[in-house]
Amino acid sequence: MKLVRDTWLIFQQEVGLMVRNPVMVAFSLAQPITYLVLFAPFLKVVMVDQGASSYADAYRIYVPGLFVAMGLFGGLFAGYGLLSALRAGIIDRCRVTPVSRTALLLGRALMHVCLNVVQAVIITLVALPFGLRVHLGNLLISYALLSVMVLLSTSISYDIALLVRNENSLGVLVNTVGQPISLLAGVLIPLVLAPLWIQQVAFWNPFAWATNGMRALFNGQIGQPVVWQGALIMIGLAAVSLVWSSHLFNREVS
Amino acid sequence: MIEATGLRKSYRVGRGRSASTVEAVRGVDFAVGRGEIVGFLGPNGAGKSTTMRMLATLIRPDGGRATIAGVDLLRTPAQVRRQIGFVAQASGTYEDSTARRDLVLQARLYGFGKAEAQRRAEAAIGAFQLDDFADRRIRTYSGGQRRRLDVALGVIHSPQVIFLDEPTAGLDPPSRVRMWQEVRRLRAEGMTVFLTTHYLDEADTLCDRVSIIDGGLIVAEGTPSDLKREISGDVVAVDLTRADVVDDAVDTDLPVATKLLAEQPYVRSSEAVDGTLRLYVDSAATAIPQIMRTLLGRGIEPGAIEARRPSLDDVFLAKTGRSLEE
């Protein structure tokens, strides 16, 4: 109960600060929308062999990929915020109060979840006029899956940040880790087009499962096993990573 | 109110072969009574902040024990947190937030409900005179305004003990005096104040008692006047950096003059600090003419000669062989 209350307090504070910086929020939307407008038309051409004959088909393939890319990178840079809060003494100021330690991390992570879901909603709305059609129930499940992904990538970022304690190393690590994971998840071009060995490597990439699950949802195939498999993998990993980052965080932070 | 015995903390620095252990605090004992203002005076890296962060439950001591307001620090840190407030050196506020928002959040983190948190924030804004800027972004505050907000945040829950880590570091003189008034007001409200400082005047005028800390150990402890009384007699400062002579005069004059004067029967001890020779004597009035005569007899002409009462820096110098003012 205390954890929920404290998490809510931190979440409110972080969201409040985000809202006070609308310019930053607008900028963080610019990249996904650019991809949506400038990349999806390419995809339509490339995917003709796969039966993508219209913009609607292209967006049905690309929007889920974009969600995964956001879910991955949206969280991976969260460590910067944590490091700057640590440096500014904000974390110490909170840690001398009886507030739940885990809430200090979880409230921040949930802010990133919230931000990414809002962005996903905006992207969905932008894609609608281009012909994207998706079942509302499936769309909501996609948002839920996106939320878990952001929770996972955020906590991975916190893990790295708490281990390296330095913005430069964090940036290098996040890019080195994030790039292959996103490519091997087929966020830009579906893995069905990839050579066999890439598909075999991608089998071990949890985010590839999430991407396939997300695409199945957008295709209206909620019954496909990859939907629950992808969701389960994400939930499991997010739980493990969150426990680990809160363990790292609760160690002496000085 | 605070009792600490044998508090120790060491850190590992570096990695692999180059790793070594730095003993930040090497066993400190001290006690702070209710309603006292007690300061840790020492240079940077002396172990002041580490000691304070241990007491504020932010880092775990390697050894020793402490009780704060009767609560055991190592066994029940969570209960200690309810009794104490802590203001770190780094401000700990959100640049884009406002004083009011941060105060309300801080009160809520202590478990107060929304209405009570707002009431406390309002009271703090009044008490610390934050009214003029309470709803402005914190990034627009001056150093003094920020620091007042920091302290207001630290005492939002009316703790019994407040820890202030370098409360006036980097502030301009008027803001420092203002902060001293706030600290005295907190004490008048019944709080016990424990602070660290590397300012001599702050330790001297603000603190009831001072612990001088160096190299992770307390080297002297007492009221400022008692500490200074230990250095009985007067201090005569002889400035050997002469304006009309080139700098290397210091190199030749200082060792010669130091040796010469240290041998004089009326000089009890002497220390050289940055081209100035500090002579500890029974009476400056009788010593100065003799010092002048001795120096001039060797052809050394002091740039200036000054008699004063011993300061806390003289105490620090006597205990550690170094000056805090360097």
CA A207 vs CA A158, B203, B305: distances in Å: 18, 58, 77
pLDDT value at B158 more than 80: yes
Higher pLDDT residue, A136 or A37?
A136
CATH superfamily of B232-309: Reverse transcriptase/Diguanylate cyclase domain (3.30.70.270)
Average pLDDT, chain B: 87
Say whether B101 and A13 touch across the interface (CB within 8 A). Answer: yes
Domain(s) of CATH 3.40.50.300: residues in chain B: 2-228
Whether the per-residue pLDDT at B91 is higher than 80: the answer is no
Min Cα–Cα distance to chain A from B256, Å: 48
Give percent of chain A above pLDDT 90: 48
All CATH 3.30.70.270 domain ranges of chain B, comma separated, are 232-309
Chain A residue numbers touching B57 (CB-CB < 8 A): 95-96
Q: How far is CA B32 from CA A118, B38, B83, in A?
A: 52, 7, 14
Tokens encoding B177: 């005096």
Helix (H) or strand (E) run with residue B140 in it: none
pTM score, whole prediction: 0.84
Bridge partners of B4, per DSSP, are B30, B66
| pLDDT number for residue B326 | 57
B82/A98 CB distance under 8 A: yes
Q: Which residues pair with B163 in a beta bridge?
A: B86, B194
Name the residue with higher pLDDT: A178 or B321.
A178
Domain locations in chain A? 2-250
Q: Is the pLDDT of residue A77 over 60?
A: yes
User: What is the tens place of the pLDDT at every residue in B45-77?
Assistant: 888 889 999 999 888 899 899 999 999 998 888
Model pLDDT, residue A254: 40
Chain B residue numbers touching A166 (CB-CB < 8 A): none
pLDDT recorded at residue B305: 87
pLDDT band at B243 (very low <50, low <70, confident <90, very high): very low
Which residues from chain B sit within 8 angstroms of residue A20, using beta carbons? 96-97
Q: What confidence category does residue B21 fall into, taking pLDDT thresholds of 50, 70 and 90?
A: confident
Q: Nearest Cβ partner of A93 from B57, B84, B88?
A: B88
Interface of A with B in 64-93 (CB under 8 A): 87-90, 92-93
> Best of B15, B102, B103, B105 to disrupt the A interface by mutation (most A CBs within 10 Å)?
B105
Domain B2-228, what fold?
A: Rossmann fold (3.40.50)
Residue A252: pLDDT band by 50, 70, 90 thresholds?
Answer: low
Residue A194 at interface with chain B, using a CB cutoff of 8 Å? no
DSSP H stretches of helix in chain A: 2-19, 22-46, 55-76, 78-87, 90-95, 101-127, 136-164, 167-183, 196-202, 206-218, 225-250
